[in-house]
Chains A and B, each alone.
Chain A
């Protein structure tokens, strides 16, 4: 049975269902309990499960992540929240030196089943320190998994899968996607980590898009279709580990690749994907891989500036037209 849910509701449902299923799952973060979540993702959990399992924390990101690391190592399954991805700076030691590395440094003995949920992305006029997409930094740290669902169905399935995964998973929710709406099954289900999806099949160009750029890529594909260009849109869904096979298979068929993300273009995840495509599928390419990302600046405040900063469907169309000969 499915019904239409907002992305934010799909996440909420995943949390309720997993907390019901497994008494070791608990939630913690700033305002997640009594206030029911700054972005309303944890609505209803505190009323149902109380203080022990829905923990309101101080504004102490290092403490919040440490709470996750320690409790996971000792047998619990924390789902903690960093209200804005930008705040991970405060917790960076616990993230990169503790959470990511304990399993390896301890010779494999430790098991850290952690989910860190966090809101990323620009476009809502909250400026430089509340708008970043920093997934590339996390993908660069061995030991972390990084998930970025682009739609409500994937959001619920990936969150359930992330909670059940025995590794630290960063679950990145784009703020502008919280209001995305589509059919979501009532029952619990999983979308496997490490699996991308072809959101729109095509034969002329492969557009790899992440998070909020997936709807932009689909818009671009529609417009390109009017020009006789048939674009294949792939959403990797998990960035670490990356479903490279799906991407390369597509590029071998289309011979052209455009990678689009909202994060700053320099050093973004698009750089990794483009490099892998160039290295592994060089003989299949008819043009160099293209990358769409934001300009190399902090996110500006003023709407006219922020709108100029945000990558969009038109940027994707322009990039595709760079590599695909125009058709009538």
Chain B
């Protein structure tokens, strides 16, 4: 493989971290140890990791309500993330944001977003700033198949193409917009078909194959950095959990469908590939997983044992 071993291992580790983080968050939610709700990314790891592996620290991403995976892939701190889920003062957003609004501006993470498609116009602004400064920064805009139908996304796509912004739209098509399957919510099957209509190149990619995502995003990011404008990548993927919470959506999602996507588990596929190429043995893979699990445990402990915010802080941070 042309990718350096270090990088491959980092990608594997990050995918495992996302999976473990999400399963952990799911357990915490089920046990009512964290307030509110979670939208879990398990199953989609290849997209966030394959994409963000092409970014530098000063590149930007905008994320979605299902944002934990993107935040971790961009280098987010899992302790601060769990603390935010617990609503603690030590959380990424001092407990004021919660799961859907986690952000780390130093890492260019412009926030998870509770509004479907809300990140797309913001990504236009971020990419515009990148172009304005002329230092080759790019912005990845993550959005779902659901978001691909909302008005502001079309506005953003047109503007990105018009201004040749360094913006890559990564559409994670996990087949479900909340609880309704794609074919009952939109008139086309391949979201990448819309790219030409917007005036940008587009492709559909196997979203369970982290190296396929890495390839496709690499091409798009290089285009963007050269000043040639945006791209639309549709990554076909699947989320194991339901839209929200920890059910697997068994009542509404056919068993054959769920089994099919599980059989193409992105972490398993990558692990097999790395083993076949002699990059990572089974034993080494197990060791990584064990290490990650212990980091997750430690991060949860940090979050749970952190102090809550003070009520005096309620009215702070509304204005600069």
Please give the residue numbers on chain A whose beta carbons come within 8 Å of chain B beta carbons, in ascending order. Answer: 26, 52, 55, 57-58, 60-63, 65-76, 78, 90, 93-94, 97-98, 102-113, 142-143, 145, 166-167
- In angstroms, how far is the closest chain B Cβ from the Cβ of A96? 10
Q: How far is the CA of A142 from the CA of B318 in the complex (A)?
A: 7
Among B122, B318, B320, chain A packs the most CB atoms within 10 A around the CB of B122
- In angstroms, how far is the closest chain A Cβ from the Cβ of B104? 8
Contact status of A69 and B97, CB under 8 A, knowing A63-B155, A97-B115: no
- Asked whether A74 lies within 8 Å of B129 as measured between CB atoms, the reply is yes
Name 30 A/B residue pairs within 8 A (Cβ), A-sorted. Answer: A60-B158, A62-B156, A63-B121, A63-B152, A66-B121, A66-B122, A66-B123, A66-B125, A66-B155, A67-B125, A67-B128, A68-B125, A70-B62, A74-B110, A75-B133, A76-B132, A78-B125, A93-B115, A94-B122, A97-B115, A104-B318, A106-B97, A107-B91, A108-B94, A108-B96, A108-B316, A108-B317, A111-B320, A113-B320, A143-B318
Sample of 20 further A-B pairs with CB below 8 A, known A73-B126, A75-B133, A107-B92: A57-B159, A58-B158, A60-B155, A62-B155, A66-B152, A67-B121, A67-B128, A69-B122, A70-B110, A70-B121, A70-B122, A70-B124, A71-B128, A73-B125, A76-B132, A93-B118, A98-B115, A103-B319, A108-B96, A143-B319
Interface residues of B in 97-119 (CB under 8 A from A): 97, 101, 103, 105, 110-111, 113-115, 118
The reply on B162 being an interface residue by CB < 8 A is yes
Contacts of A66 in B (CB 8 A): 120-125, 152, 155-156
Contacts of A142 in B (CB 8 A): 318
Contacts of B69 in A (CB 8 A): none
A98 is contacted by which of B118, B128, B155 (Cβ under 8 Å)? B118
- Asked whether B320 lies within 8 Å of A69 as measured between CB atoms, the reply is no
Interface residues of B in 111-154 (CB under 8 A from A): 111, 113-115, 118, 120-130, 132-133, 139, 151-152
User: What string of 1s and 0s marks CB contacts (under 8 Å) between B54-97 and chain A?
Assistant: 00000010100000000000000000000000000001111111
Contacts of A26 in B (CB 8 A): 132
Contacts of B60 in A (CB 8 A): 74
Contacts of B319 in A (CB 8 A): 103, 143, 145, 167
- Asked whether B129 lies within 8 Å of A107 as measured between CB atoms, the reply is no
Contacts of B132 in A (CB 8 A): 26, 52, 71, 76
Contact status of A76 and B129, CB under 8 A, knowing A104-B317, A109-B105: yes
Q: How far is the CA of A75 from the CA of B132 in the complex (A)?
A: 10
The 6 lowest CB-CB distance pairs between A and B, nearest first, are A66-B121, A70-B125, A108-B317, A107-B94, A63-B155, A60-B155
Q: How far is the CA of A278 from the CA of B281 in the complex (A)?
A: 76
- Asked whether A106 lies within 8 Å of B124 as measured between CB atoms, the reply is no
Please give the residue numbers on chain B whose beta carbons come within 8 Å of chain A beta carbons, in ascending order. Answer: 60, 62, 91-97, 101, 103, 105, 110-111, 113-115, 118, 120-130, 132-133, 139, 151-152, 155-156, 158-159, 162-163, 316-320
- Asked whether A65 lies within 8 Å of B121 as measured between CB atoms, the reply is yes
Contacts of B123 in A (CB 8 A): 66, 70
Task: Name which residue of chain A comes closest to B96, CB basis.
Answer: A107
B126 is contacted by which of A74, A103, A106, A113 (Cβ under 8 Å)? A74
Contacts of B129 in A (CB 8 A): 70-71, 74-76
Contacts of A63 in B (CB 8 A): 121, 124, 152, 155-156, 158-159
Task: Name which residue of chain A comes closest to B103, CB basis.
Answer: A106
Contacts of B158 in A (CB 8 A): 58, 60, 63
Contacts of A58 in B (CB 8 A): 155, 158-159, 162
- Asked whether B125 lies within 8 Å of A107 as measured between CB atoms, the reply is no
Contact status of A166 and B127, CB under 8 A, knowing A70-B122, A97-B118: no
- Asked whether A73 lies within 8 Å of B93 as measured between CB atoms, the reply is no
Contacts of B113 in A (CB 8 A): 98
Task: Name which residue of chain B comes closest to A100, CB basis.
Answer: B318
Among A69, A74, A104, A112, chain B packs the most CB atoms within 10 A around the CB of A74
Contacts of B155 in A (CB 8 A): 58, 60-63, 66
- Asked whether A94 lies within 8 Å of B118 as measured between CB atoms, the reply is yes
Contacts of B110 in A (CB 8 A): 70, 73-74
Contacts of A108 in B (CB 8 A): 94, 96, 316-317
A69 is contacted by which of B92, B101, B125, B317 (Cβ under 8 Å)? B125
- In angstroms, how far is the closest chain A Cβ from the Cβ of B291? 29
A73 is contacted by which of B105, B120, B151, B317 (Cβ under 8 Å)? B105
Q: How far is the CA of A60 from the CA of B158 in the complex (A)?
A: 9
Q: How far is the CA of A55 from the CA of B122 in the complex (A)?
A: 16
Q: How far is the CA of A76 from the CA of B139 in the complex (A)?
A: 15
